[in-house]
Amino acid sequence: MNRSIYISILAVFLMFGMLLSFQFRSNGSNGGGVPTERYHELTVEKLKVETDIAQLEEESNDLAVKIADARRGRTTAAEAIEKELDKIQLRAGLIPVTGPGVEIVVKNDSSAQYGTGFYNIRDENLLLLVNDLRGAGAEAISINDQRILATSEVRQAGNHINVNLVKISPPYNIKAIGNPGQLKSSLEIKDGLVEILAANGVLVEVQQLEQVSVPAYSGGLGFDYAKHVQKG
């Protein structure tokens, strides 16, 4: 029962006690008085009612404490679940994030020409950059505002590159959140990836920033064949 029901029962018993008290006073005003046996019975009944009322008050207070504890418990549990969900979404790349890092522009070197045309940036060039950033401790990466996850696809599609099944075109803008100096140094180390790509006609410009914004992953995350393994 909730607290309102207990209060209603308490009110009934209080009224009953008042009626008994009134009856005692009324009977006492009669000239004949109240018989001793009847007076004793009424006194016993009154004491019983008072005892019942005290017990109801105690149970009502105890229930109120339990209800308050239960509400606090639900609030605490809900807050814990929300925090855990935020952590999972953060790690899964499902929410936008911001922090220090680097912004990289990848474009063709117009001064370098190979064969009959300019060197075209390939999907493997972007993959090399992503892997290098991950190895340097990048916590979140995007290419042309496409969030890169463990399941992301970076694949050549004719003259374009698809990322997360979305067609993107040069210049390619890569954002990475992490230690700015560490990320930049990893790419620009002597004989590192920036020099290797430059030798093949791909210019990579790296800029350190105090604030970089990486959007959330917006594609689907459905699993058609993978199933959860039941323990036992």
DSSP 53-92: HHHHHHHHHHHHHHHHHHHHHHHHHHHHHHHHHHHHHHHH
- Does the structure show a pLDDT above 90 at 6? no
* Residue with the two structure tokens 């990322």: 163
171: preceding bond cis by omega (within 30 degrees): yes
More confident residue, 223 or 214: 214
- Please state the pTM of the whole predicted model: 0.65
Task: Note the pLDDT tens digit of each residue in 121-155.
Answer: 899 999 999 999 999 999 999 999 999 998 889 99
For residues 24-35, give the mean pLDDT: 51
Nearest to 206 by CA among 180, 168, 179: 180
Q: Looking at residue 116, what is its pLDDT?
A: 40
Among 163, 170, 129, which residue's Cα sits nearest to residue 148?
A: 163
Q: Is the pLDDT of residue 164 over 70?
A: yes
pLDDT score at 189: 93
For CA atoms 206, 208, 213, 214, give the dihedral sign.
positive
Q: How many CA atoms are closer than 13 Å to the CA of 215, on its beta-carbon side?
A: 11
How confident is the prediction for the chain on average, in pLDDT? 81
Query: Which tens digit of pLDDT belongs to each residue from 176-220?
Result: 999 999 999 999 999 999 999 998 889 999 999 999 999 999 887
Q: The tokens 């803008």 sit on which residue?
A: 173
DSSP H helices in 93-179: 123-135
Bridge partners of 213, per DSSP, are 98
Measured at the alpha carbon of residue 174, what is the angle toward residues 105 and 131, in degrees to the nearest 5? 115
